[in-house]
Amino acid sequence: MLTSFDPLLIGIAIIVLVVGLSRLRGSWSMGQDDDRPGDWKGLLGYLFGHKKILKTGSSGIAHILLFWGVLFPLIVGILSQFAFTMPLMLAGLLSFAGDILGIAVLAGVVFFLIRRLRIKGPEAPGRVVFPVLLLLIIVLSGFFAEGTRLTITEPAVRWPTPAGWIFAAFLPSSPVLMQLMVRVHFFAVLLFLCTLPFTFMRHLVIGPLNVYYRRRGPRGELRQVTLDKGPVGARGVEDLTWKQLLDAQACVSCGRCEENCPAFISGKPLSPRKVIREVRKQMENPTPKLLENAITGDEMWACTTCMACVEECPVYVEPMDKLIDMRRFQVMGRGMLPQEARPMIRDLEIYGDVNGKGLAHKEDWALNQGVPHISRKSLNAEILLWVGCSGAFHPRYGETTRALVRILKAGQVSFGILGKEELCCGDSARRLGDEERFLELARKNIASFNKYHVKKIVCLCPHGFNTLKNEYPALGGDFEVIHATQFVMELIDQKRISLKYPVAKKMAIHDPCYLGRVNTIYEPLRALAGSVPGIDLKELNRNREQAFCCGGGGGRMWLHENVGDKINHLRAREISENGVELVGTACPYCLTMLEDGINSLEMEKPPGVMDMIEIVDASLGRVY
- Indicate which CATH number applies to the domain containing 550: 3.40.50
624 is a domain residue = no
56 and 197, same domain (yes or no): yes
- Judgement on whether residues 371 and 307 belong to the same structural domain of the protein: no
Query: Is 315 within the bounds of a domain?
Result: yes
Angle between helices 272-284 and 319-328 (to 10 degrees): 70
Task: With cut-offs at 50, 70 and 90, classify the pLDDT of residue 74.
Answer: low
- Percent of the chain topping pLDDT 70: 90
Query: Is the domain of 175 the same as that of 26?
Result: yes
Rounded-to-integer distance, Cα 324 and Cα 234, Å: 9
Q: Are residues 431 and 383 in the same domain?
A: yes
Across residues 164-170, what is the average pLDDT?
A: 70
Domain count, the chain: 4
Question: Residue 529's pLDDT is what?
Answer: 94
Per the model's pLDDT, the better-predicted residue between 73 and 306 turns out to be 306
Same domain, 243 and 190: no
Residue 171 above 80 pLDDT?
no
Shared domain check, 511 and 586: yes
In a shared domain, residues 537 and 563: yes
Task: Establish if 587 belongs to a structural domain.
Answer: yes
End position of a domain, from candidates 179, 204, 229: 204
Same domain, 372 and 331: no
pLDDT computed for residue 204 by the predictor: 84
Q: Give me the sign of the Cα torsion angle 236, 239, 244, 246.
A: positive
pLDDT at residue 244 is higher than 70? yes
Assign residue 268 the CATH number of its domain: 1.10.1060.10
pLDDT exceeds 90 at position 565: yes
- What separation in angstroms does the CA of 127 have from each of 24, 130, 207, 252, 275? 15, 6, 16, 11, 18
Look at residues 419, 449, 470 and tell me which one is the last residue of a structural domain.
Answer: 470
> Where is the domain boundary, 204, 227, 262?
204
Residue 46 lies in a domain: yes
What's the rounded mean pLDDT across residues 167-175?
Answer: 74
Inside any domain, residue 611: yes
Give the model's pLDDT for residue 158.
Answer: 62
The contacts of residue 579 (CB under 8 Å, 6+ apart) are: 506, 538
**Most confident segment among 280-294, 365-379, 535-549:** 535-549
Q: What is the pLDDT of residue 187?
A: 86
pLDDT at residue 506 greater than cutoff 60: yes
Q: What is the mean pLDDT of the chain?
A: 86
Residue 227 lies in a domain: no
Least confident of 347-361, 398-412, 458-472, 564-578: 347-361
* 30 and 179 share one domain: yes
In the chain, what is the greatest distance between 2 CA atoms, to the nearest angstrom?
A: 96
Check whether 120 has a pLDDT greater than 70: no
In a domain, 540, yes or no: yes
Q: How far is residue 582's CA from residue 576's CA, in Å, rounded to a whole number?
A: 10
Rounded to an integer, the average pLDDT of 139-167 is 73
Q: Is residue 40 part of a domain?
A: yes
pLDDT score, position 319: 94
Q: Which residue has the higher pLDDT, 190 or 121?
A: 190
SS (H, E, C) 417-442: ECHHHCCCCCHHHHHCCCHHHHHHHH
The residues near 236 (Cβ < 8 Å, ≥ 6 apart) are: 282, 288, 289, 290, 291
Percent of all residues in the chain with a pLDDT value above 90, rounded to a whole number: 47
Residue 624: is its pLDDT beyond 60? no
Task: Identify whether residues 565 and 602 lie together within a single domain.
Answer: yes
pLDDT-derived band at 379, boundaries 50, 70, 90:
confident
Domain boundaries, position 365 = 354-470
Please indicate, yes or no, whether residues 312 and 363 belong to a single structural domain of this protein: no
Statement: the pTM of the whole predicted model exceeds 0.85: yes
> 183 and 127, same structural domain?
yes
